Structure 1
């Protein structure tokens, strides 16, 4: 048989495989995070008609005479390292990675697989899963925990009946009164006094209001004043009868020369413990700081005081917050997932872990945009996405990195190569026919 006939057949096979790869690339031009493949060819074994010989004393050297036996596909490479374009989706659970890392996905067998496809959703139990198959996304469940200590990330805090759990409120433990007690304020000498309302959160997470009455302490001393808690009101602004405990009067003293604060009930730090009782016992106890007030006589014609009540101490601690409903989720660039609540608070839900490999092109494609580690890829190195300078973008997806112009160019070249090899077979057949006709 003519060797060219078999070389042509080998060429047809290799170009057919290349066309299969090109067709798969084109088919996945819009597949999320798909990585294009490319075929490389190699020549087959050669038949030696004569071996190479070195020069001798009487004769020069000669090259080998080798006849090739066709071509084969030597490798199919996946272009994993080339990033696809980023498409905005505005879905908070659609994530794209900028960098070389992969999401860590637990498949139905409990095996760790890896993916660049960040099209995720939340299942009925509140876990972050892949949208296509419901495979669990892995990450750290402890704030500040190690990236390698992964678990299934539970985004939504659901109770046994599948309802979102509310966030319990935190009571206000500290408050402060600030501003000016004016020596020319006529209200301070009246029966009504000047009132200041302090809104705070009780032990039950509800909102309460304590009303303070400021007056001149019933004397003519311009440096002594008095603050009395006259009542406590519930979240509907209804007075709670008998809710104010005894000893709720605070005697305030100021420096007669500078107007600076001196003491509150002889406490130079200005602290006063406000307690409640009866039907208002759930309001708890609040430490009120009066050291932020001072006393002077204005010279600009203004006679009113400017007192204000604030939750929290000078550093913002002890402010408390009410009961809250979860109303959103935020995913940061470092992969941290945060639950957002209606009371202005937020809580850590988990942090997405990622994996990198020594030889990323050695990964094995498993379908569904998933990869598995192989002996040639090396084991997964668990990390956070920003450990190597990458980041995660919420509300976007990485698209396919297929270059259609290059694929169509390769398609033309493959078609011509296939045609040429077909022509080799046709010509070889003609030669065999000529040989057959020699008998006639």
Structure 2
């Protein structure tokens, strides 16, 4: 069997995965806090061909998926005027919890629930710098650039709470959990404090960092790559057919 046929199959599989990733990016072009992904490929082990030569004689055996990385470039800011809508200018994530595990949130679309808790749209509690949920809020007075929330509690007293804003050494190693939430992994490194140069902005949301122009360009390239690899398989099949016809 011709190696080119298997190389073509590996190429088609890779570009099919690339199209899946591009499709997901485009589907989330308006998702608050969404961070796009990109696909990286690598060549497979090459086969050495016997014979004397100054240089090595090697034939490649196709390509494989190397990585699907999350791109943490900033998304476009959208001004909402809602005081509980927060975004981070620079590197950083908000810390939230479901009561059992801590997650990193790029979306700062928060709200105050009926019990005075500051929560995400999915009901996850927003954490303060002491890893405790921010609770007992009646009305927020202000949120400064360092993430310090000044609010009036349900008893009418003035209170303050410092938002926990975090990051990790390798943001591409975070695991996507859906709902614009991410989880720490061994590849991402442990959660640490947000850089000092980053700041919290109130009344603004960070939108998706998907660039449709770039995605459509990548889609065309992936489509052409898929077609080219399918042509390799077709050509290999025609060559095998010619070999079979030699007996006639």
With the shorter chain as reference, the TM-score category is over 0.9
SS in 2 for 1:121: strand
Q: Select the structure with the greater relative contact order (CA < 8 A; seq sep ≥ 6).
A: 2
Q: Do 1:155 and 1:349's aligned partners in 2 also have CA atoms closer than 8 Å? A: no
TM-score of the superposed pair, with normalisation by structure 1: 0.54
Alignment of 1:25-64 (within 5 A): 25-50=25-50, 62-64=54-56
Task: Give me the whole-angstrom Cα distance separating, in 2, the residues matched to 1:97 and 1:155.
Answer: 24
Task: Give me the whole-angstrom Cα distance separating, in 1, the residues matched to 2:76 and 2:120.
Answer: 20
1:138 matched to 2:119: no
SS in 2 for 1:50: coil
Q: 1:355 aligns with which of 163, 166, 180?
A: 166
Q: Do 1:122 and 1:155's aligned partners in 2 also have CA atoms closer than 8 Å? A: no
1:389 alignment partner in structure 2: 197
Offset from partner CA, 1:258-314 (integer Å, 9 cap, x none): xxxxxxxxxxxxxxxxxxxxxxxxxxxxxxxxxxxxxxxxxxxxxxxxxxxxxxxxx
Which structure: greater strand fraction? 1
Alignment of 1:229-240 (within 5 A): none
SS in 2 for 1:62: coil
Q: CA deviation at 1:339?
A: 2.2
Q: Do 1:155 and 1:350's aligned partners in 2 also have CA atoms closer than 8 Å? A: no
Q: 2:135 aligns with which of 147, 154, 160?
A: 154
1:431 matched to 2:239: yes
Farther off after superposition, 347-356 or 409-418? 347-356
Q: Do 2:112 and 2:119's aligned partners in 1 also have CA atoms closer than 8 Å? A: yes
1:401 alignment partner in structure 2: 209
Give the number of aligned pairs: 246
1:23 alignment partner in structure 2: 23
Q: Unaligned regions of 5+ residues in structure 1, if any? A: 54-60, 140-146, 158-326
1:411 alignment partner in structure 2: 219
Offset from partner CA, 1:31-66 (integer Å, 9 cap, x none): 111111111111111111137x7xxxxxxx621111
Q: Unaligned regions of 5+ residues in structure 2, if any? A: none
Task: Give me the whole-angstrom Cα distance separating, in 2, the residues matched to 1:357 and 1:339.
Answer: 29
Q: Do 1:102 and 1:355's aligned partners in 2 also have CA atoms closer than 8 Å? A: yes
Task: Give me the whole-angstrom Cα distance separating, in 2, the residues matched to 1:41 and 1:67.
Answer: 18
Task: Give me the whole-angstrom Cα distance separating, in 1, the residues matched to 2:162 and 2:102.
Answer: 17
2:142 alignment partner in structure 1: 330
Q: 1:102 aligns with which of 65, 87, 93?
A: 93
Q: CA deviation at 1:7?
A: 0.7
SS in 2 for 1:153: coil
Task: Give me the whole-angstrom Cα distance separating, in 2, the residues matched to 1:155 and 1:395.
Answer: 21
Q: Are the structure 2 counterparts of residues 346 and 90 from structure 1 closer, same or farther at C-alpha, using a change threshold of 3 Å?
A: farther
Q: Do 1:364 and 1:371's aligned partners in 2 also have CA atoms closer than 8 Å? A: yes
Offset from partner CA, 1:385-428 (integer Å, 9 cap, x none): xx612211111100000111111111111111001001001111
